[in-house]
Structure 1
Amino acid sequence: MSFQAYLDAVEQKTGLTPRELAAIAQQRGLAEPGVKAGEILAWLKQDYDLGRGHGMAMVHVITKGARIDDKHVGKAGAHGDESSELWLDGAASRPADWGSRG
């Protein structure tokens, strides 16, 4: 599953876009330096019933933003993504050419 597919599944499960979840994490103080991934994962599990894989995708977005390492871009396989920039504003609003942009 690509990183973007994880985020799309998070949106489907929670009803919130990744950007909305990241904003809630920010409001709760979970995006501050020094916050451990386990704290964020516990919140996502308790409030949204997200498992570890989907939770870790959100941990990345919350702590590092929308950019991912280029090593996975354009690669075949389970973790290959089309772009090094993730779309955080919801699958329905993603432009058709988003993956070819970055």
Structure 2
Amino acid sequence: MSFQAYLDAVERKTGKTPRELLDEATGRGFGPGTKAAPILEWLKADYGLGRGHGMAMVHVVTKGPQIGDKHVGSSGSHRDASDTLWLDGAATRPAPAD
């Protein structure tokens, strides 16, 4: 599963876009330097998210939307189309460039 697919699943499970969750996390005082545990506890308690989906959001909260390019353009199951995650919802994501 790609990193972006994890975020799309988070949106389906919570009803909130990753950006909305990021804004909520920021409002709770989470950001760069925050350990994973309190973010995971919040996401589990309020949204029922498990560790895998929660860790995708931990990355976004603590490091932003940039990811490594290891899987960008690859053909594996973990491939991502871009090294920048789309946080504004699956329905609004631009189509990949050809």
TM-score surpassing 0.5? yes
State how far apart, in whole Å, the 2-side matches of 1:79 and 1:41 are. Answer: 22
- The residue number in structure 2 matching 1:22 is 22
Which string of whole-angstrom CA distances, capped at 9 and with x for unpartnered residues, describes residues 4-47 of structure 1? 000000001101000110010000011152x2101101110000
Q: RMSD between aligned alpha carbons? A: 1.4
Which residue identity is paired with 2:18?
A: P
Per the normalisation by structure 1, the TM-score is 0.90
1:13 aligns with 2:13: yes
Write out the 4+ residue segments of structure 1 that deviate beyond 4 Å after TM superposition.
Answer: none
Task: Report the identity percentage.
Answer: 67
Unaligned runs of 5+ in 1: none
Q: Where do 5+ consecutive residues of structure 2 fail to align?
A: none
Given that residues 26 and 32 in structure 1 are in contact (C-alpha distance below 8 angstroms), is that contact kept between their aligned partners in structure 2?
Answer: no
CA displacement 1:56-83 (0-9 Å, x = unmatched)? 0000000111110011211222321111
Secondary structure of 1:69's aligned partner = coil
Matches within 5 A, 1:43-62: 43-62=42-61
Paired position in structure 2 for 1:81: 80
Contact 2:32 2:61 in 1 (8 A): no
For the 8 Å contact 1:41–1:59, the answer to whether it is kept is yes
